[in-house]
Structure 1
Amino acid sequence: MAGVLDAVNQRTQLVGQNRLELLLFKLDGPQLYGINVFKVREVLQCPKLTVMPRSSAVVRGVASIRGGTFPIMDLALATGQPGLNDLKNSFVIITEYNMKVQGFLVRSVERIVNMNWESIHPPPKGTGRDHYLTAVTRVDNKLVEIIDVEKVLSEVAPAIQTVSEGVIDTDTHAKAINKRVLIVDDSSVARKQVSRCLDTVGVEVTALNDGRQALDYLKAMADRGEKPEEQLLMLISDIEMPEMDGYTLTAEIRNDPRLQKLHILLHTSLSGVFNQAMVKKVGANDFLAKFRPDDLASRVAERIKAADES
């Protein structure tokens, strides 16, 4: 176990084409779950928790760790399973999503595996609308479920989803009517959040689930003789997605002369200097951390004004 914990703490950067590292863990059963190592700050034995009055039942308490105080969420409870009881023998995965730090309580931490995003697939059809999976894969012939953490967080601590008054002026809203934006995100919650934000701006939205779908969609446009940069105001893409991640999607678009002029904004819960460097490396136009509706609406408004002036 110590080796796994050391590895998580040391691996803060992942370089590679369409690759990721998954930290595998279990809740209260044999099922394996995975979380991208990029999101993990550290893993530790469950510390002493202080219960907070009026907090969600999913939040088992808060913990003081390295000078900070963070909520600790029971991931089993959050996904509709019985909560964990033996806290002393459980572990906490400290993560950073959408510029916020929180811990996820799990029964055990297994190991880290290096994988290709092409091996990560959307949940099987028929799983239902209320499931908490964003993707599935197999490791050593065992099914690994990747939880839609953005859905969990949206239910436990809902983020502000409305655009503030005055962010979009009347002139920009009027010019947005004939503009269309392509958004790509494997999380149904994230797609809805972005769609609501762009509805406020006034643009038309086309939403797809992963990078492979988006690339096929854009190539089909080009095959019909259409120019994506003329048909679409911009592409807003998540980075972490099954089949093809946002970095690889961007690189593929820039390598195709028919697509390369499309404006690309990478919109992700990943943060940090490393991701800024990767954005520049693959040729994206911009990067924005999730989910700040005013900032996202402002970026789209800037594109509307730029398109109107060109």
Structure 2
Amino acid sequence: MAGLLETVDSRTQLAGKNRLELLLFRFADKQRYGINVFKVREILKCPPLSHLPGSHPVVRGVANVRGKSISILDLARATGLQALENLEQAYVIITEYNGRTQGFLVSAVEHIVNLNWERIHPPPGASGRHNYLTAVTNVNGALVEIIDVEKVLNEVSPVAEQLSEATLDAALRQQASCFKVLIVDDSCVARRQVSRCLQAIGVQVLACNDGGQALGMLNTMLAEGKQPPKELLMMICDIEMPEMDGYTLTAQVRANAQLASLHIVLHTSLSGAFNEAMVKKVGADQFLAKFRPDELAGLVTARIRQFALDTPLGEASQPCSNI
């Protein structure tokens, strides 16, 4: 199984080309699921698990992996399916999300597929608000479901969403109310987290579910005679999204002279070192790892203070007139 990931490093050239690679896996049934290869650190047969008293029911135990204790989550049970039973035959996918390492218990790991993000679609509307899917695709005539892992992790171990008091300045809140921020993220949990953070600061929030939808909104603003770089304080954009990823959205914005100066922050659960290099490649202004509310608030408030310097003389004195 280690050989399955031997060439992951060579695949980094896919980023920025609206492409991704999915590792396909199964639970006890025949349904296929997928996870972005860049989230995967290792795949191994399920090691011995030590029970952790008082842990969440989804956490099947703790494993010692290369000298590090890692929580092992039953991803099937987390999404409302039957818990896996035959652990001796199961596999664990070691992943990194938002700077945290954990293992996902699965029945079988298949292979890696190379896809265009245009082939990745939002889940059907009839699936309801409480499903655990962030996207679906089709591989060789079979449906592949992509689980909203951020939602699962937030239910098992919620991250703090409140801002520290030091970031909530009354005078800045009044100034912030003049500004709009566009959030682009396919995860309902991530959109909610970022929205609450921004609303606590006082800025107005616009939200889109993927890069294509966001680009459509920006082009509609242009068609209406508006200037998005002046009307929006910034765009905070996830990287992994169906239809159009954050790298491609950034490149499309930078390629349009009327949008090119829009301030773009790539906000992602993917590990940081690779993405910091990609930020420069596609032309984003900043990179921020999910989800760190005080860091996000600090970035937004700094941009509010900087906005007057970025806005042409005569416009900066009355930012509310631009919103």
TM-score, scaled relative to structure 1: 0.97
Q: What is the aligned partner in structure 2 of residue 47 from structure 1?
A: 47
Q: Moved runs in structure 1, 4+ residues, more than 6 A?
A: none
Q: What is the aligned partner in structure 2 of residue 8 from structure 1?
A: 5
Whole-Å separation in 2 of the counterparts to 1:36 and 1:158: 22
Are residues 213 and 233 of structure 1, via their aligned partners in 2, closer, same or farther at CA, if it must alter by over 3 Å? same
Whole-Å separation in 2 of the counterparts to 1:232 and 1:99: 29
Whole-Å separation in 1 of the counterparts to 2:124 and 2:181: 27
The alignment yields a C-alpha RMSD, in angstroms, of 0.9
- Cα shift readout 1:236-292 (whole Å, capped 9, x = no counterpart): 000000000000000000000010010000000011321111110000000000000
Q: Any conservation in 2 of the 1:9–1:41 contact (CA below 8 Å)? A: no
- Cα shift readout 1:115-139 (whole Å, capped 9, x = no counterpart): 0000000001111111000000000
Matched position secondary structure for 1:126 = helix
Q: CA deviation at 1:34?
A: 0.1
Letter of the structure 1 residue corresponding to residue 280 of structure 2: K
- Cα shift readout 1:2-50 (whole Å, capped 9, x = no counterpart): 4xx3122441452120000000000110000000000000100000100
Q: What is the aligned partner in structure 2 of residue 305 from structure 1?
A: 305
- Cα shift readout 1:83-110 (whole Å, capped 9, x = no counterpart): 0010010000000000000000000001
Q: Any conservation in 1 of the 2:234–2:265 contact (CA below 8 Å)? A: yes
Whole-Å separation in 2 of the counterparts to 1:305 and 1:272: 26
Q: What is the aligned partner in structure 2 of residue 63 from structure 1?
A: 63
Q: CA deviation at 1:171?
A: 2.1
Q: What is the aligned partner in structure 2 of residue 181 from structure 1?
A: 181
Please list, as runs of the form range in 1=range in 2, the aligned pairs for 1:113-262 lying within 5 A after superposition.
Answer: 113-262=113-262
- Cα shift readout 1:146-172 (whole Å, capped 9, x = no counterpart): 000000001000001111111132221
- Cα shift readout 1:194-251 (whole Å, capped 9, x = no counterpart): 0000011100000110000000110111122211011100000000000000000000
Letter of the structure 1 residue corresponding to residue 12 of structure 2: L
Q: Any conservation in 2 of the 1:9–1:42 contact (CA below 8 Å)? A: no
Whole-Å separation in 2 of the counterparts to 1:121 and 1:83: 27
Matched position secondary structure for 1:21 = strand
Matched position secondary structure for 1:113 = strand
Q: Any conservation in 2 of the 1:210–1:245 contact (CA below 8 Å)? A: yes
Q: Any conservation in 1 of the 2:272–2:289 contact (CA below 8 Å)? A: no
Q: Any conservation in 2 of the 1:91–1:108 contact (CA below 8 Å)? A: yes
Whole-Å separation in 1 of the counterparts to 2:272 and 2:237: 17
Letter of the structure 2 residue corresponding to residue 7 of structure 1: L
Letter of the structure 1 residue corresponding to residue 3 of structure 2: D
Q: How many residues align?
A: 307
Whole-Å separation in 2 of the counterparts to 1:273 and 1:95: 16
Q: What is the aligned partner in structure 2 of residue 104 from structure 1?
A: 104
Whole-Å separation in 1 of the counterparts to 2:67 and 2:262: 44
Structure 1 gap segments, 5+ residues each? none
Q: What is the aligned partner in structure 1 of residue 36 from structure 2?
A: 36
Whole-Å separation in 2 of the counterparts to 1:187 and 1:79: 15
Letter of the structure 1 residue corresponding to residue 4 of structure 2: A
The share of aligned pairs that are identical, in percent, is 58
Q: Any conservation in 2 of the 1:26–1:109 contact (CA below 8 Å)? A: yes
Whole-Å separation in 2 of the counterparts to 1:223 and 1:67: 57
Letter of the structure 1 residue corresponding to residue 274 of structure 2: F
Q: Any conservation in 2 of the 1:14–1:21 contact (CA below 8 Å)? A: no
Whole-Å separation in 2 of the counterparts to 1:172 and 1:70: 41
Q: CA deviation at 1:68?
A: 1.1
Matched position secondary structure for 2:167 = coil
Whole-Å separation in 2 of the counterparts to 1:51 and 1:79: 21
Matched position secondary structure for 2:28 = coil
Letter of the structure 2 residue corresponding to residue 298 of structure 1: G
Letter of the structure 1 residue corresponding to residue 13 of structure 2: V
Q: What is the aligned partner in structure 1 of residue 77 from structure 2?
A: 77
Whole-Å separation in 1 of the counterparts to 2:29 and 2:229: 49
Letter of the structure 2 residue corresponding to residue 132 of structure 1: Y
TM-score, scaled relative to structure 2: 0.93
Structure 2 gap segments, 5+ residues each? 312-323
